[in-house]
Amino acid sequence: MADPLTTIPGVASGIDWSAVVDQVIAAQKKPATRLQATIDANGRRKDALEQLRQKLAAVQGAADGLRKGKALDAFAVSSSGVDAAGRSILAATVGTGAVAGTYGITVTALAAAQKTVATTGWNGTQVLAADATLVLGGTDIALKAGDSLATVRDKINAQTTKTGVQASILSVDAGGADQRLVLTGQKSGAANAFSVADGAGGALLAALGIGGANAVDATDAAFTLDGGATTITRPTNLVADAIPGVSLTLTAKGSSALTVDRQPKAGVDAVQAFVDAYNTAQAYLKTQAVAGAPLQNDAFVRSMRGSLSSMVLTPAARVDDSGIPTAVADDMTALNAIGVTVQKDGTLAFDQAKFNGVYPARMNDVRALLADRMSTFFSYADGVTGTYTGQVDRREAAMDSQNVTMAHRIDEINSRLDKQRTALLAKYAKFEGALARMKSVGDAMTAQFSALTKSDSN
């Protein structure tokens, strides 16, 4: 809708009423402008809080691995040994729960799934001569006269979830004149062998070419450890429960030496990762302490730098809340015992040589110290980064609520000022119209006086 003064731009008065009204409205809009500035500032604070969340989440993650000891338990595994064809006897991976050691493994058998291949084939037009029932692994599969070999295959595969057997067709020649049914067990291991029978006691198996020896028998994997007399068997070639923390994949028959070693840098890398995450968080907090920073006036954030430093300096508890002694050693109650110290600027320094002096030689004492101190860091960081209950989420929720309230207030102010602007423009348009009419009357009277004056002169 056009302004009421669009057609009366202050010609009579010489005043730009639209500009006057805009200045009046702008002056009254300052509260809304201040509210919008607060909303924008809240947006910047939320962005800064999200960055803080990420920094402390990194501290929390590094502390978690150290407090649980997982970060100290990094092992490497290697194996040697090939068969006559040059194939590796086994492959191995290492996980949690591993212990250092060397093992001799002799694989005497590999796990296999049963495979039964027809000894005679069908041509491309051959079909069953009569109805029949194939009993596969105790499951009846109804076949009909006129079924082709492909139909037989499909009917078997429709029951795979029950039988554990998958059917396929092997084309012996390129022209398709010799097609043979292949039955393959879906699981390896002797317990997963399957039987094939003719339910009608007729000639179905002979017609399918099945009934002789299996192409591959279902067998278990078998191996011995360290020359032991007891043979260990498993239904698959993946063995995850024979050696603590080690998963074996048996690939060939023969003997292999397996070595599990603690990675010497595991502890150093884990503590360094914590120090780096801590220093990154402290550096970010420092940027928020300067004038104009989004979180400059956040009391919790201002105190966070000191809280983090205090947690580094606080010694581990020698007794728990019940007065029972903990596993913390007398000479290893502070993080400086493993080379972690606070510098003047609040960041941490890590003396790797000092750490290597106690790790892994005093593994249990290092574990106890880190379990105590890193639990404190983990809990503190969780109180900041935790979903819903953490400081970041609580502050963001409060700002979101504040922003909604202020946005409604801005809408109310804008709506009121829009109406006021319309009313003022209408008022000044009416005034401009009246002034124009008065000017018109004045101009007419001036013209009449001029005419009378000329008449008198004549």
The top-scoring range by mean pLDDT among 23-32, 42-51, 68-77, 427-436 is: 42-51
329 secondary structure, DSSP code: -
Contact 385, 55 (CB under 8 A): no
Mean pLDDT calculated for residue range 73-91:
92
C-alpha–C-alpha distance, residues 309 and 343, integer Å: 9
What's the pLDDT tens digit per position in 291-320?
Answer: 999 998 888 888 998 899 999 999 999 988
Mean pLDDT calculated for residue range 27-44:
91
At 458, the pLDDT band (50, 70, 90 cuts) reads low
Mean pLDDT calculated for residue range 241-245:
93
Mean pLDDT calculated for residue range 82-109:
92
Query: pTM above 0.85?
Result: no
What's the pLDDT tens digit per position in 120-155?
Answer: 999 988 999 999 999 999 999 999 999 999 999 999
H/E stretch holding 369 reads helix 363-385
pLDDT in the model for residue 452: 77
pLDDT in the model for residue 3: 52
Q: Is the pLDDT of residue 246 over 90?
A: yes
pLDDT in the model for residue 8: 46
Q: Say what percent of the chain tops pLDDT 90.
A: 65
**CATH hierarchy code of domain 115-208:** 3.30.70
Mean pLDDT calculated for residue range 390-410:
92
The two three-digit tokens of residue 137, written as one number = 């692994």
Residue 362 is which amino acid?
A: R
183 secondary structure, DSSP code: E
pLDDT in the model for residue 99: 87
Q: 331: how many CB neighbours lie within 10 A of its CB?
A: 10
The two three-digit tokens of residue 247, written as one number = 């998963």
Q: Name the residue ranges covered by the structural domains of the chain.
A: 62-69+266-384, 75-111+220-262, 115-208
Q: Is the pLDDT of residue 228 over 70?
A: yes
